[in-house]
Amino acid sequence: MKEETPRKRHRKVRVPSERHHFGEYPGAPFGTTWTDRTECFHAGVHRQLEPGIHGKKRAGAFSIVVSGQYKDDKDEGDTILYTGSGGCKRSDGTREQTCDQTWSDTGNKALYRSSITGKPVRVIRGYELESEFAPWEGFRYDGLYVCKDAWQEKNRDGHYVICRYRMERVPGQPPLRRRSTVVGLYKPIPGFEDVQPLAPGPAPVNGRQRFRDRLKALLDNDQRIHGPCKELRR
């Protein structure tokens, strides 16, 4: 009787997922701008459509979006005081606290872990952020930051606990763009004209205004094709 040779067991090799990438993302250098969060998601730079923190509890945070949705965010350019996630509901484009934030939240835990590991975090700024460093339009990748500290405190209204992070920009990167007093333009940065192009366009609008404008455009287009409806003819 022929002996059966034992099958060789192949050890599974874990290949890092492109979603879980620390540092600058390939194909998206400093200053890359997207029209909306969906484009940024598909580019791989921030693999979350809604949450502002993308990361894993044990590994740390890969990227964050600073878009002005939390009133307690404070953007000073090279330093960002960032508000954690959770405990909120949407209200007029911002997030209103309804309960305390906790470290058990995946995003909060991931960014807290980054304060320990010191691994760089990609920062994307959104146009609705009330900061001179925000883009006039869309969402822009503004380089790498390191989470230097993480703690909990009361929000500025003093009602609920929020998770807070101090993000410091990694030295040696191109200068940040600053909004000019002219809507749609940025202050010039000598020697970095190729990295800091002017951004023409109208003043930014909130999500509700964009929806109204889009609805009006659809109605106008429909009337051009089919003519005014009966109610408009009266």
Would you list the domain boundaries of the chain? 33-187+195-202, 204-234
DSSP state of 68: S
Averaged pLDDT of the chain: 81
Question: Looking at the predicted structure, is the pLDDT value of residue 80 above 60?
Answer: yes
Given a cut of 80, whether residue 5 has pLDDT beyond it is no
Terminal Cα distance for the chain, rounded: 97
- Continuous H helices in the chain: 37-43, 106-117, 207-226, 230-233
pLDDT tens-digit map of 84-130: 998 777 665 566 778 899 999 999 999 999 999 999 999 999 999 99
Tell me the sheet residues that pair with 55.
Answer: 61
Secondary structure (3-state) at 4: coil
Class of 33-187+195-202 per CATH? Answer: mainly beta
**CA neighbor of 44 nearest in space, from 75, 21, 73:** 21
pTM: 0.73
Q: What is the pLDDT of residues 132-173, one digit of tens each?
A: 999 999 999 999 999 999 999 999 888 899 999 999 999 999
pLDDT by residue (tens digit) across 168-209?
999 999 999 999 888 888 888 877 665 544 443 444 455 556
What average pLDDT does range 13-26 have in this prediction?
67
Handedness of CA 56, 57, 63, 68 (dihedral sign): positive
The residue with greater pLDDT, 231 or 113, is: 113
As a whole number, mean pLDDT of residues 37-41 equals 93
pLDDT at 12: 46
